[in-house]
Amino acid sequence: MTAPAFRTCPFTSLKVDRHAEMLIRANAVVSVVALLVGAVAAVMLVLTRWQAVHLLPAVWFYRILGVHGMSMLIFFIIFFEMAVLYFASTALLNARLVVPKLAWACFGLMVIGAVMVEWMMWAGKADVLFTSYVPLRAHPLFYLGIILFAVGALLVTVIFFANLVVAKREKTYEGSLPLVAYGAVAAAIIAIITLLHGAAIYIPTFLWSLDLMEVDPQVYRMVWWGLGHSSQQINVAAMVSVWYMLGALTVGAVVLNEKISRSAFVLYVLFISMASAHHLLVDPGMGPAWKIVNTSYFMYMAVLASMIHGFTVPAGMELGQRLRGYTNGMFEWLRKAPWGDPGFSALVFSVVVFGFVGGITGVAIGTEQINIIAHNTLRVPGHFHATVVSGTALAFMGVTYYVIPLIFRKKVAFWGMAKMQPYVFAIGMFIFTMSMTFAGSFGVPRRHWDISFSNAPFDVQFSPAVDVLLAFVAIGGLLAATGAFMFIAIAVKSVFLGEPLGEVTRGRAMAGVPQGLTHPPTHAPNVDELNAALHHPSRGIFGVAPGTLALAGVFLLAFVLYYFVNWKVLSFVWKIG
Amino acid sequence: MTPETHTGLQSPRGVWWKPAHKAEKVWVAIAFGWCMVLFAMMPLWHLKGGQNPSGIRRKVDPEAFFQRTQEFIAQYQIGDDRGMPIVAPPAGSDVYLTAMAFQWTPILQLEKDKEYVLHLSSRDVNHGFSLYPLNINFQVVPGYDYGLRVKPTEAGDFRIICNEFCGIGHHIMVGRVIVLDGAPQAATAETAVVAGGDR
């Protein structure tokens, strides 16, 4: 094997392995291509569900819905996560990529798998939607494509761990893993659990599609969601890592307490894979005890983990800002934050929408009995677009504004537009997810071409409020899609036609370079004094982060309110047992 | 001892298992307490609440379930609406509803405040039982009989929307449930048919 070639990063003085760097680039580029396909599909879908427009014919609506799910939830996100794994196990640790040839082979395998899946779906040979519930049947190549993609992704997580072991042995870093890398480890462990579920379900299903074996529809649903929901938990762990990273880059966010943050990641690893149950709460295959234990991640331990990160991330940002001298009042740290840095605004919106919309609705509809008034309605996509799109995708977009200068060594193109992009995307997604959630509360089904039921044998007339809500879904969706297209234009222009980064002078603003790089967050000269004062026992429980504690209180109030309103609404329907 | 000021991108030096600040401890305690409330609500609702997805659950051959539905129709049919039988089972009985692409068989006529065991299953692929406009939803899985004890608490002419993608005709798959206030009279079924929409 050839000796690794490194370059030294001018900002962080870390050594960057060239193979790892090329793989980060390649995965990021494919990820953005998948995002483009998914976003075009999204526009067509919202314009169809907006009954006044009703763009696509039925066949194409369901087909494009499958394309949207696969392109976004699997290809866009997992290719991006592969880039995160390479970054966290090499550049962040000063370390080398141990098996570059195998890594490239994995990349090739994943691309081939993805192309096969897309081809089958666009050709109309896999009209089974994202979930492909047996006994709906697709062409065998569809299942085979997913298997190839998953094998590639599984091997990349193995390479990730190999990198970590070698880095430790070669002593490329001192002390423990940085928190961001620790979070990536959690994501990688969850990825292995998830991908093994994927193998356990797609290999039998592939054989079933060749008439070689039987697959039970209920077992399929259980194991498939061990892949389907757990893969969203990879996203959560990866997203939280990115939160810590963006906090560090943009405002010098401090890790308040390593023990707490790391324990929360351990809770994810231990409990989060039980979430398959969220999709089976009103299924005939399982009993109440199984449902309660699993849907609650064994007594809500993974929810606890998210509530911890949801506090420590903003609290770390608050302390970071206070140590820079923004100590006045409750919220000076927030007012004087770099809102023009797209990395920062993306971080804030990601935390807020993930928590307030995604988290709260998720816990409510994932409650065994409340699921009766939520299952398969628009409340479900309302929830997961708030977590995986407004949360994960937006965090990944935010970090891309740092990846472009740090890894691609280019200026961020269309800089004025880049500053606006997180706002457009987040506002669009907020409108979209809220309207979807409320439309779902009226019982509007998800994955449905025509809720005016114009060709159905019996008439169904939803409340006029539903029409208004679905129009808002479309408007929010189009706004968010605009944000996605802005992001794609910025990323593509920067990477392929971008201006080389050149010399960056500290303290001088520069178009195309985020503030966290031109003005790296540095502590005030009297930092020790500030820190000691903030930690002084006389400050009581408000301590280092009073603003965050107040915001957390608002969050808890919204959570409690929404949760109990749902129980109240449930109590009005028929008696069922 | 000066508290830590490093970021998540830097390696913590030495032992990182250190006591947390009071603010963090308080938040973790509140969050933990709330998680216990969330957890306790589910078993509590099984004890005190009126809506639980427990049911009587067993495996069943899809064709056998469809045959049972046919027998059920033959036993209690009182009329039909555009070819779909209307069935009025007595209070307390087992009620069978088969889902298949793209219809719900048969139309059920129930009585308010009477309990029934509603058996749901599918003859082909997964379907979604969604009772409109009440927004009561259950998954219908082929090969599984989901027997739910239901007690309608209001009268009306309800629809069953399919809310699990089941193929190209998914969006026209609508069924019907009629709930009468009081015991049905001979004429009531006819009235119900007329009320069932004029499409």
Q: What is the pLDDT of residues A406-435, one digit of tens each?
A: 988 999 999 999 999 999 999 999 999 999
Which residues in chain A have their CB less than 8 angstroms from residue B120's CB? Answer: 284
Q: Do B55 and A447 touch (CB under 8 A)?
A: no
The residue among A282, A313, A561, A569 with the most chain B CBs within 10 A of its CB, best to mutate, is A282
Q: What is the mean pLDDT of chain A?
A: 94
Instruction: Identify the residue among B2, B9, B15, B41 best suited for mutation to test binding to A, counting A beta carbons within 10 A and taking the highest.
Output: B9
Q: Is A375 helix (H, G, I), strand (E, B) or coil?
A: coil
- Which residue among B11, B43, B136 places its CB closest to the CB of A173? B11
* Cβ–Cβ below 8 Å for B42 and A542: no
The answer, yes or no, to whether residue B184 has pLDDT greater than 90, is no
Probe site for chain A from B10, B17, B18, B21 (most A CB atoms < 10 A): B21
Asked, for residue B3, whether it belongs to a domain, the answer is no
SS3 B78: strand
Percent of chain A with pLDDT over 70: 99
Contacts of B175 in chain A (CB under 8 A): 458
What pLDDT digit, counting tens, does each position of B45-96 carry? 999 999 999 999 999 999 999 999 999 999 999 999 999 999 999 999 999 9
Interface probe for A, chosen from B39, B44, B114, B179 (most Cβ of A below 10 Å), is B39
Looking at the partner chain, which of B52, B82, B163 has a beta carbon nearest the beta carbon of A576?
B52
- Contact present, A129 and A66 (Cβ < 8 Å): yes
Q: List, for residues A453-480, the tens digit of each pLDDT value.
A: 999 999 999 999 999 999 999 999 999 9
- Residues 182-211 of chain A with CB under 8 A from chain B are 183
Q: Is residue A141 over pLDDT 70?
A: yes
- SS3 for B132? strand
Predicted pLDDT of residue B3: 64
Taking 80 as the threshold, does the pLDDT of residue A211 lie above it? yes
Residues B36, B109, single domain; the answer is: no
Q: Is B29 within 8 Å of chain A by CB?
A: no
pLDDT in tens, A519-556: 999 999 989 889 888 888 888 778 789 999 999 999 99
B162 and B70 part of one domain: yes
In this prediction, what percent of chain B has a pLDDT beyond 70?
A: 90
Contact A445 B174 (CB under 8 A): no
Q: Say what the pLDDT of residue B182 is.
A: 81
* Residue B116, domain CATH: 2.60.40.420
Range of the domain at B34: 20-52
Is B157 part of any domain?
yes
One domain for residues B29 and B114: no
Is there a domain that residue B76 lies in? yes
In a domain, B1, yes or no: no
Of A298 and B192, more confident: A298
Mean pLDDT of all residues in A391-407? 95
Checking if the pLDDT of A324 tops 90, the result is yes
d(CA A309, CA A260): 9
The confidence band for B191, taking pLDDT boundaries of 50, 70 and 90, is very low
Q: Which of A9-13, B8-12, B64-68, B187-191 has the lowest mean pLDDT?
A: B187-191
Question: Is residue B181 situated within a structural domain?
Answer: yes
> Dihedral sign, CA of A424, A254, A266, A177?
positive
Considering only alpha carbons, which residue of chain B is nearest residue A57? Answer: B168
* Total of domains in chain B: 2
**Together in a domain, B81 and B178:** yes
Judge if B67 and B46 occupy the same domain: no
Would the pLDDT of B195 be above 50? no
| Residues B31, B89 within the same domain | no
Neighbours of B19 (CB within 10 A): 9
Mean pLDDT in residue range B5-29: 88
For residue B158, give the chain A residue with the closest CA: A460
Is the separation of the CB atoms in B162 and B124 below 8 Å?
A: no
> A390 — contact with chain B (CB < 8 Å)?
no
Q: Based on the fold, state whether residues B127 and B153 are members of the same structural domain.
A: yes
What is the predicted pLDDT for the residue at A175? 86
- Per-residue confidence (pLDDT) for residue B18, from 0 to 100: 87
Nearest to B12 among A176, A244, A376 (CB): A176
Give yes or no: residues B41 and B107 share one domain. Answer: no
Task: From B147, B152, B172, B150, select the one nearest B160 (Cα to Cα).
Answer: B172
Using the Cβ of B132 and the Cβ atoms of chain A, whether some distance falls under 8 Å is answered with yes
Tell me the pLDDT tens digit for each residue of A33-63: 999 999 999 999 999 999 999 999 999 999 9
pLDDT-based confidence at residue B147 (cuts at 50, 70, 90): very high
Cβ contact B51–A573 (<8 Å): yes
Instruction: Give this complex's ipTM.
Output: 0.93
Do B162 and B118 fall into the same domain? yes
Whether residue B159 sits in one domain with residue B68 = yes
pLDDT in tens, A430-445: 999 999 999 999 999 9
Q: Can you spell out the DSSP letters for A248-309?
A: HHHH----S-HHHHHHHHHHHHHHGGGGGGGG-TT-SSS-HHHHHHHHTHHHHHHHHHHHHH
Tokens, residue A502: 């050149």
Q: In the structure encoding, which two tokens stand for residue A298, read together?
A: 């064994």
Distance CA A323, CA A463 (A): 53
pLDDT at position B190, please? Answer: 47
For residue A191, which of A133, A103, A268 has the smallest C-alpha distance?
Answer: A268
CB contact under 8 A, B49 and A448: no
The per-residue pLDDT for range B87-114, each reduced to its tens digit, is 999 999 999 999 999 999 999 999 999 9
With respect to residue B161, please indicate whether it lies within any of the assigned structural domains: yes
B69 and B45 share one domain: no
On the question of pLDDT at B159 being above 90, the answer is yes
CA B152 – CA A571 distance, rounded (Å): 13
Burial (CB count <10 Å: 0-12, 13-18, 19+), residue B198: exposed
Tokens 């029409």 — which residue? Answer: A467
Tell me: do B113 and B167 sit in the same domain. yes
Q: Is the Cβ–Cβ distance between A19 and A103 less than 8 Å?
A: yes
The answer to whether residues A546 and A374 touch, using CB atoms and an 8 Å cutoff, is no
For residue B81, tell me if it sits in a domain: yes
The pLDDT assigned to B199 comes to 38
A3-16 average pLDDT score: 79
Q: Does B11 reside within a domain?
A: no
Nearest CB partner across the interface for A218, out of B144, B166, B173: B144
B26 touching A (Cβ < 8 Å): yes
Q: Does A443 touch chain B (CB under 8 A)?
A: yes
Q: Does B125 touch chain A (CB under 8 A)?
A: yes
Give me the pLDDT at residue B14, please. 82
Q: At residue A12, does pLDDT exceed 60?
A: yes
Residue type, A363: V
- Given a cut of 60, whether residue B196 has pLDDT beyond it is no
| pLDDT, tens digit, 9 for 90 and up, residues A269-321 | 998 778 889 999 999 999 999 999 999 988 899 999 999 999 999 999 999 99
Cβ pair A459:B199 closer than 8 A? yes
Looking at beta carbons, which residues of chain A come within 8 Å of B171?
58, 448-451, 453, 455-456
User: What pLDDT is recorded for position A3?
Assistant: 56
Are B149 and B93 in contact by the 8 Å Cβ rule? The answer is no
**A311 at B interface, C-beta within 8 A:** yes
CA A404, A410, A414, A420 dihedral sign is positive
